[in-house]
């Protein structure tokens, strides 16, 4: 059965075999550097040091705020 | 363009003795703004907020002015070698000698962010490095309930002024920038484009302080 996540407003569907087991796994699949992203799940901040231990569930709304250098 | 109606018309007044200077607003005068980093963003945000007589600025930076900062940061040749906190405070007091400023020459960590910005209404993320931007944004959102942070991502290069936007991500996070233009080989930081972002940032801070709610949500693009 396919499961979905809404990432920055866009719905993304994953086959069971592709389902990200954690926030860290999702960022790896999206090729996003963990050190430069703030993650929010259903309106709650998930701190970077908990990315690996935070599981994902079907239907969650995920906001990934990405930073690039310069200031 | 929005017309501003003062919430309390009696609460604003002109700067004493200077008819042409902008009105000073009671709400700004009562406010405290934390500025994390005094580089291209922070040194310019501090200037803009000082000109409006924003109540108190808490200025934090561990670094000294270097020659190659002068291409975009609000410092002068004779300030090379000085702590940015000291140079910024001097520059701001040349605008208004009575500006209320608090300076800290420290490298910010999650612990010191919570401590030094405890009385700030709004915090401006003015760092250079992406991981530092991440660190303060996460810290404020996770550990400082009620605080608003205005962060910046994507301002390198030149041109494309209109690609730099102000976006309300949540009721406590406002994100400025084009989201993609990081510093890299062949992509320098330039005074005009960093300035566009810095003034977006200052303008968003003023809007938060004046309204204490995100009135620009409706006209934010996404």
What CATH number is attached to the domain comprising A46? 3.10.20.30
Handedness of CA B93, B95, B96, B102 (dihedral sign): negative
Q: What is the dihedral of CA A46, A52, A57, A59, to 10 degrees?
A: 50
Domain count along chain A:
1
Q: Does B40 touch chain A (CB under 8 A)?
A: yes
8 Å CB contact between B105 and B62:
yes
With beta carbons less than 8 A apart as the criterion, state whether B126 and B36 touch. yes
CA atoms within 13 A on the CB side of B33: 33
Number of inter-chain CB pairs under 8 A, A vs B:
81
A interface with B, Cβ–Cβ below 8 Å: 9, 33, 35-38, 40, 43, 45, 47-48, 63, 65-71
Question: Would B217 be classed as within a structural domain?
Answer: no
The pLDDT of residue B18 is 44
Confidence of residue B26 (pLDDT cuts 50, 70, 90): confident
Q: What residues make up the domain containing A20?
A: 3-66
Q: With beta carbons less than 8 A apart as the criterion, state whether B92 and B86 touch.
A: no
Q: What is chain A written as a DSSP string? A: --EEEEETTEEEEE-GGG--SSHHHHHHHTT--GGGEEEEETTEEE-GGGTTT----TT-EEEEEE-----
In a domain, A71, yes or no: no
Write out pLDDT tens, residues B32-88: 999 999 999 999 999 999 999 899 999 999 999 999 999 999 999 999 999 999 999
| Nearest by Cα to B218 from B177, B141, B166 | B166
Asked whether residue B10 is domain-assigned, the answer is no
Coil, strand or helix at B157: strand
- Into how many domains does chain B fold? 1
Q: Which of B:148-167 have CB within 8 Å of A?
A: 151-156
A36/B222 CB distance under 8 A: no
Q: Determine the Cα angle at B122 with ends B116 and B126, to 5°.
A: 75
Using the structure block, give the residue that is written with the tokens 């396919």: A2
Which residues in chain A show pLDDT less than 70?
none
Cα A1 from Cα B68, distance rounded (Å): 56
How close A47 gets to chain B, by Cα (Å)?
7
Residues of B in contact with A68 (CB under 8 A): 130, 153-154, 156, 177, 179-183
pLDDT grade, residue B210 (50/70/90)? Answer: confident
Residue A19: inside a domain, yes or no? yes
Rounded distance, CA B208 to CA B20, Å?
25
Judge whether B82 and B65 are in contact, CB under 8 Å: yes
pLDDT of residue B27: 82
Residue A14 counted as domain residue: yes
Q: What is the CATH number of the domain that holds B187?
A: 3.40.50.720
Judging contacts by C-beta atoms under 8 Å, the chain A residues touching residue B134 are 35-38, 48, 67
Question: CA–CA separation, B36 vs B42, rounded Å?
Answer: 7
CB B50 within 8 A of CB B92: yes
Give residue B219's pLDDT.
43
Minimal Cβ distance to A71: which of B126, B134, B179: B126
Chain B: residue whose CA lies nearest to A10:
B222
- Could you tell me if residue B187 is inside a domain? yes
The mean pLDDT of B133-140, rounded to a whole number, is 98
The answer to whether position B14 is within a domain reads: no
B129 contacts in chain A (CB < 8 Å): 69
Q: Is B130 helix (H, G, I), strand (E, B) or coil?
A: helix
Contact B106, B63 (CB under 8 A): no
- Looking up tokens 């050190």, which residue turns up? A35
Instruction: Locate the chain B residue with the closest alpha carbon to A70.
Output: B128
SS (H, E, C) B54-74: CCEEEEECCCECCHHHCCCCC
Partners of A63 on chain B (C-beta within 8 Å) are: 169-170
Question: Which structural domain, as residue segments, surrounds residue B104?
Answer: 23-211
Nearest chain B alpha carbon to A42: B170
Q: Closest partner residue to A38 among B141, B180, B222, by Cβ?
A: B141
Distance from CA of A43 to the nearest CA of B (A): 8
Q: What is the DSSP letter of B217?
A: T
> Which range is least confidently modeled, B8-22, B93-107, B142-156?
B8-22
Region B195-211: what's the mean pLDDT?
95
Q: Tell me which residue has tokens 């291409």.
A: B71
* Nearest chain A CA: its distance from B179 CA (Å): 7
B3 belongs to a structural domain: no
């Amino acid at each position: 059965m396919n499961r979905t996540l809404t990432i920055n407003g866009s719905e993304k569907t994953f086959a069971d075999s592709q389902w990200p087991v954690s926030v860290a796994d999702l960022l790896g699949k999206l090729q996003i550097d963990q050190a430069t992203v703030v993650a929010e799940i259903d309106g709650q901040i998930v701190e970077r040091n908990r990315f690996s231990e935070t599981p994902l569930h079907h239907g969650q709304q995920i906001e990934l705020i990405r930073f690039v250098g310069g200031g | 363009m929005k017309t501003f109606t003062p919430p309390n018309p009696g609460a604003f007044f002109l700067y004493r003795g200077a008819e042409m200077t902008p009105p000073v607003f009671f709400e700004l005068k009562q406010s405290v703004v934390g500025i994390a980093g005094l580089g291209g963003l922070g040194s310019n945000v501090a200037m803009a907020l000082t000109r409006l007589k924003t109540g108190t600025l808490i200025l934090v930076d561990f670094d000294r002015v270097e020659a190659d900062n002068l291409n975009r940061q609000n410092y002068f040749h004779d300030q090379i070698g000085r702590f940015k906190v000291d140079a910024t405070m001097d520059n701001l007091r040349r605008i208004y000698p009575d500006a209320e400023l608090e300076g800290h020459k420290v490298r910010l960590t999650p612990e010191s962010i919570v401590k030094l910005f405890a009385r700030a209404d709004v915090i401006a993320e003015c760092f250079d490095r992406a991981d530092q931007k991440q660190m303060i944004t996460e810290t404020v959102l996770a550990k400082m309930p009620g605080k608003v942070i205005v962060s910046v991502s994507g301002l390198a290069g030149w041109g494309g002024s209109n690609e730099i936007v102000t976006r309300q991500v949540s009721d406590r996070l406002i994100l400025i920038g084009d989201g993609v233009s990081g510093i890299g080989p062949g992509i320098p930081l330039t005074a005009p484009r960093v300035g566009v972002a810095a003034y977006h940032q200052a303008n968003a801070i003023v809007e938060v302080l004046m309204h204490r709610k995100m009135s620009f949500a409706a006209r934010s693009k996404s």
